[in-house]
Amino acid sequence: MPKLVNIKKSVMAADEEHASFIRNIMREKGILMINMIGSPGSGKTTVLEKLLPALDLRCAVIEGDVATSKDAERIAATGTPVVQINTQGGCHLEAHLVRKALQDIPIDDIDVLFVENVGNLVCPAEFDLGESFKMAISSVPEGDDKPLKYPSLFHKARAVLLTKVDLLPFIKFDKSTFWNDVKKLNPKASKFELAALEDKGVDELVNSIKDWLNEVRGN
Amino acid sequence: MPKLVNIKKSVMAADEEHASFIRNIMREKGILMINMIGSPGSGKTTVLEKLLPALDLRCAVIEGDVATSKDAERIAATGTPVVQINTQGGCHLEAHLVRKALQDIPIDDIDVLFVENVGNLVCPAEFDLGESFKMAISSVPEGDDKPLKYPSLFHKARAVLLTKVDLLPFIKFDKSTFWNDVKKLNPKASKFELAALEDKGVDELVNSIKDWLNEVRGN
């Protein structure tokens, strides 16, 4: 079906233009933009709830969800500007949606923009939103086989977060398997282990975010 | 972009033909076919590992994964005929893939065909594989907000499995929220709670599968 492929390509190309537009704005304003991707329930929102108050930087969040504004309400409770995108069934965010959401983000007054993608370990990895980089979030209860089973995201992510490590005593999970497989797919990825509800690992992530912001700003 | 929509529709229509073909075969052979859908790490394969030896029925499994044959190897270890479909990045199974896999399934000698879909709570819910019904699998660590956040699957599933209930003591999870939201979306869904690694809830599921098989066979 070459016709479908062609049209798909042109749709992708149009979205690449939106991604470039976003990337240029982020560069111009010196904003670090992180595209957070992980399964439903991997802990993306909880990490943000802990990270936002701990970062002494000006942040904003774009929340992507199939339905509801539950996550955006949780972020708003931290006092951080947040915009909810409901994809109405769509399984990932696309750059044109993010570009529209940016209209309600105070881009002249922020240092870091977090985009929490739709809970999905597959599709969001394939879409460029104009972000500085993708961050993979994978939780202990999902199992240590996830990097090899869902390689695309782990291959592309600049940072990989292993969350809910407080559950390790109760779950069969081999950390060396997980991290060795991440290393095979992506030797340069920054690695973090978090138990966000217990504030474990949050400081290390805060420090790296400051380094990444300096890098974006050429400091 | 009406052109895209039209072509998409025709692709969907072609796949509906494959789904009808599969549904007709299942009816003709009196096979119960269950399309298992849930997030990565929700416990789909583990449920099958416990279910297959406990069912005194002739079963077969089709495993859908983005990459690797890890799950098929786990199923093969139970002595059950299994075919692995690798979607090479695709986020869900489609009927034409299942139809092809059926060529390697002994359909004249089975009672139940389980299809374990790609780990994804969004996309697989939208595709008819010709199954008897969809089964939603959601695990305690994913959180009690998943039905409302990912409503399509929970709305369509005939059976909903809440897995990993042995982790309830260690995780903030309100069972009544979860089940009330399932009920709102789908009042008729059959509900199951499992801790498969501890064999909890497996017998109830075994009994229901026998009932569903009788129903398929008009007994």
pLDDT digit string, tens, across residues A190-216:
999 999 999 999 999 999 999 999 999
Query: pLDDT category, A8, cuts 50, 70, 90?
Result: low
pLDDT at B10: 64
Which chain B residues touch A if contact means CB-CB below 8 Å?
1, 3-4, 7-8, 11, 39-41, 65-68, 70-71, 89, 91, 118-123, 126, 139, 141-143, 145-146, 148-152, 164, 166-167, 170-172, 197
Residue type, A97: L
Mean pLDDT in residue range A88-107: 96
Burial of B108 (0-12, 13-18, 19+ CB in 10 A): exposed
CA atoms of B137 and B47, how far apart (whole Å): 9
CA atoms of B105 and B100, how far apart (whole Å): 10
Percentage of chain A beyond pLDDT 90 is: 92
Residue A88, pLDDT above cutoff 70: yes
| Angle between the N-to-C axes of helices A2-29 and B2-29, in degrees from 0 to 180, rounded to the nearest 10 | 120
Q: Mean pLDDT score of chain B, rounded to an integer?
A: 95
pLDDT at B14: 86
Of B40, B71, B139, the CB nearest to A150: B40
Domain count for chain A, please give it: 1
Q: Would the pTM of this model clear 0.90, i.e. be above it? A: yes
The CATH number that applies at residue B140 is 3.40.50.300
Chain segment A111-123, per-residue pLDDT in tens = 999 999 999 999 9
Percentage of chain B beyond pLDDT 70 is: 95
Percentage of chain A beyond pLDDT 70 is: 95
- For residue A85, being part of any structural domain is answered with yes
- What residues have CB less than 8 Å from B163, skipping those under 6 apart? B38, B42, B43, B46, B47, B137, B138, B139, B140, B194, B195, B196
Mean pLDDT in residue range B165-181: 98
- For residue A219, being part of any structural domain is answered with no
Q: Are A46 and A143 spatial neighbours (Cβ–Cβ below 8 Å)?
A: no
Q: Are A120 and A35 spatial neighbours (Cβ–Cβ below 8 Å)?
A: no
pLDDT at B6: 47
- Minimum Cα–Cα distance from B171: chain A residue: A167
- For residue A40, being part of any structural domain is answered with yes
Of A67, A120, A152, the CB nearest to B151: A67
Give the CA radius of gyration of chain B: 17
> The tokens of A169 are what?
């005593």
- Minimum Cα–Cα distance from B125: chain A residue: A89
pLDDT at A10: 64
pLDDT at A13: 77
Q: Mean pLDDT score of chain A, rounded to an integer?
A: 95
CA atoms of B8 and A52, how far apart (whole Å): 41
Residue type, B190: S
Coil, strand or helix at A132:
coil
- For residue B143, being part of any structural domain is answered with yes
pLDDT at A38: 98
- Minimum Cα–Cα distance from A149: chain B residue: B67
Residue B191, pLDDT above cutoff 50: yes
Chain A contacts of B4, Cβ < 8 Å? 7-8, 11
pLDDT at A14: 85
CA atoms of A106 and A83, how far apart (whole Å): 11
Of A118, A122, A141, the CB nearest to B66: A122
- For residue A205, being part of any structural domain is answered with yes
* Domain span including residue B114: 2-210
- For residue B217, being part of any structural domain is answered with no
Residue B2, pLDDT above cutoff 50: no
Closest by alpha carbon to A75, among A45, A111, A101?
A45
Residue A147, pLDDT above cutoff 90: yes
- For residue A66, being part of any structural domain is answered with yes
Query: Helix-strand-coil percent breakdown of chain B, rounded to 5?
Result: 50, 20, 30
> The tokens of B122 are what?
């969004």
Mean pLDDT in residue range B117-145: 97
Residue with the larger pLDDT of the pair B9 and A148? A148
Which chain A residues touch B if contact means CB-CB below 8 Å?
1, 3-4, 7-8, 11, 39-41, 65-68, 70-71, 89, 91, 118-123, 126, 139, 141-143, 145-146, 148-152, 164, 166-167, 170-172, 197
